[in-house]
């Protein structure tokens, strides 16, 4: 399927010579920021792992809340890495393991009766592997008696070729910590009791040991996946080498990531669709009710890649030559336009975040007929769409000359729809 589809990439006509900015400095800074973001994601995932182990070893309300807090903190740097998707094949090929969404959570654990059973699209939508030590997949008997990272990654994830069978990554862990959000359009996130991890007679909803085993395996996997990706952006890493190999292709990767994340992914798939479907399940972090932050930090990632400066989780700043400098050298007016639009987007996303944090939950914003909620979300959508137009102008201004066939995962790659 993928082979026969035409894939196209933005190709900047080489050589791109700009008076005061060296393109390779811009790309080096882009790679440095990626490395810092993935390292920060790793650090916060390691903290999550510690918190999860504490919950399993010593189950309590306090330890459950601590693990949730660690998960929320881990999302802050990770969401800012998403702008490295789409343009960098190495990130795209890997991303489904850590941030796949939406998921049919009944694959993993018990769900409410209103969830339903297997669907036309997914036979395993209600498998509940925590309660089942064996099942049959495409005629093959699967042994699920021990839940290991290898089992999750190799057999359960995307079982039967269905993308909604998400067995690994942030959102699987989110479900294991919060549980289903059964509040519909009302306030409140998922409300899993800490006793779902209790030992012996205190255990609720059965199989607490296997639930703990799953949570631990999924968190281990997240840590090892992030460790791998951080290394790809370090000195001598493949992702860094790929970006630095060719100035034009490197700048193209930057712009492709910014535009695709802004438009097709966040504005389209994640934000607008939710409003139009009025479905509280169409929330990026629907268990934790953290969707306002998901969007906000995605937007921030686009902005900090353009401006070439990222503030790390310890407050230090990674900065250097930026795409903004490059654009300003070619067309100062266009640079000003881009900066203004990025700021506008952040203000709109900030409005959503502030309202959500003050008690107007993202679920409520999605409700049919909730005009204020729709206006808030559509404000973010429109700002993302508007900034994408300026990104396209930058592509033109930096001297895009045509297209290259046989690109990697990239702009306008129709197969991306299946990822």
Partner 1 sequence: MKLALALILAPAFAAADPRVEAALDDDILPGFAALTQATQALADAQTCDVADAWNTAAAAWVAVSHLRFGPSEADNRAFALAFWPDPRGATPSALTALLGEDAPPIADASIAGRGFYAMEFLLFDPAFAGEAGRCDLIAGLADDANASAQAIENEWQNHYGDLMRETGNGTYRDDTEALQELYKSLTTGLDFTTAMRLGRPLGTFDRPRATRAEMRRSGRSLANVSVSLASLQSLAVILGGDSLSADIQARFKVADDQIEAIANLDGGPDLSIVSTPAGRIKVEALQQRIAEIRVFLAETLGPDLGVIEGFNAMDGD
**CB closer to partner 1, 55 vs 254:** 254
Q: For residue 285, give every residue at least 6 positions away whose Cβ sits within 8 Å of its Cβ, in sequence order, or none.
A: 75, 171, 174, 291, 293, 294
CB of 369 to partner 1, least distance (A): 5
What are the angstrom distances between the C-alpha of 360 and each of 113, 290, 364? Answer: 27, 12, 7
Minimum CB distance to partner 1, residue 268 (Å): 5
Structure tokens at 348: 């709109």
Q: Give contact residues for partner 1 (rule: CB under 8 A).
A: 1, 4-6, 8-10, 86, 102, 119-121, 138, 160-161, 163-164, 259-260, 262-266, 268-270, 272, 275-279, 281, 368-369, 388, 391-393, 395-396, 400, 402-403, 405, 411-419
**Rounded least distance, CB 80 to partner 1, Å:** 18
By beta-carbon proximity to partner 1, the closer residue of 136 and 316 is 136
Q: State the Cα angle at 148 between 142 and 150, rounded to 5°.
A: 75
Hey, how many other C-beta atoms are within 10 angstroms of the C-beta on 56? 20
Q: Which of 215/266 has CB closer to partner 1?
A: 266
CB of 202 to partner 1, least distance (A): 35
Task: Tell me whether residue 351 or residue 392 sits nearer to partner 1 (CB atom).
Answer: 392
Residue pair 346/402 in contact (Cβ under 8 Å)? The answer is no
Q: Which two tokens stand for residue 9?
A: 């990439």
CA pseudo-torsion sign 399, 402, 405, 409: positive
Least distance CB 313 / partner 1 (angstroms)? 27
The Cα 290–Cα 325 span in angstroms is: 34
Smallest separation, CB 320 to partner 1 (Å): 26
Closer to partner 1 by CB, 42 or 416: give it: 416
Task: Tell me which H or E stretch contains 81.
Answer: helix 61-81
| Choice between 15 and 402, CB closer to partner 1 | 402
């Amino acid at each position: 399927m993928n082979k026969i589809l035409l894939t196209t990439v933005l190709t900047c006509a080489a050589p791109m010579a700009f008076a005061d900015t060296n393109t390779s400095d811009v790309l080096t800074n882009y790679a440095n920021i990626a490395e810092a973001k993935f390292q920060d994601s790793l650090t916060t995932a390691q903290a999550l792992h510690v918190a999860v182990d504490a919950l399993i070893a010593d189950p309590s309300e306090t330890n459950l809340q601590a693990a949730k807090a660690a998960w929320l903190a881990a999302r802050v740097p990770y969401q800012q890495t998403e702008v490295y998707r789409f343009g960098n094949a190495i990130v795209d090929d890997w991303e489904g393991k850590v941030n796949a969404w939406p998921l049919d959570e009944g694959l993993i654990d018990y769900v409410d009766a209103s969830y339903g059973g297997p669907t036309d699209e997914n036979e395993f939508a209600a498998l509940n592997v925590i309660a089942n030590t064996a099942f049959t997949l495409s005629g093959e008997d699967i042994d699920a008696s021990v839940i290991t990272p290898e089992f999750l990654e190799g057999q359960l994830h995307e079982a039967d070729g269905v993308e909604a069978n998400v067995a690994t990554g942030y959102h699987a862990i989110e479900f294991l910590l919060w549980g289903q959000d059964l509040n519909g359009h009302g306030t409140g996130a998922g409300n899993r009791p800490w006793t779902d991890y209790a030992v012996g007679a205190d255990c609720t909803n059965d199989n607490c040991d296997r639930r703990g085993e799953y949570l631990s395996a999924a968190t281990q996997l997240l840590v090892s996946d992030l460790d791998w990706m951080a290394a790809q952006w370090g000195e001598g890493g493949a992702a860094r080498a790929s970006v630095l190999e060719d100035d034009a292709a490197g700048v193209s990767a930057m712009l492709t990531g910014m535009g695709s994340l802004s438009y097709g992914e966040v504005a389209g798939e994640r934000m607008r669709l939710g409003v139009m479907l009025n479905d509280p399940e169409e929330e990026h972090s629907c268990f934790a009710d953290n969707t306002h932050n998901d969007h906000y930090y995605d937007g921030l990632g686009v902005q900090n890649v353009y401006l070439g400066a990222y503030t790390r989780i310890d407050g230090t700043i990674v900065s250097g030559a930026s795409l903004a400098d490059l654009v300003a050298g070619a067309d100062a007016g266009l640079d000003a336009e881009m900066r203004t639009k990025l700021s506008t987007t952040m203000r709109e996303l900030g409005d959503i975040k502030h309202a959500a944090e003050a008690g107007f939950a993202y679920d409520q914003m999605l409700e049919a007929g909730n005009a204020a909620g729709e206006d808030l979300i559509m404000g973010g959508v429109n700002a993302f769409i508007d900034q994408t137009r300026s990104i396209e102008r930058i592509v033109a201004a930096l001297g895009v000359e045509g297209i290259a066939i046989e690109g990697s995962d990239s702009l306008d790659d129709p197969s991306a729809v299946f990822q």
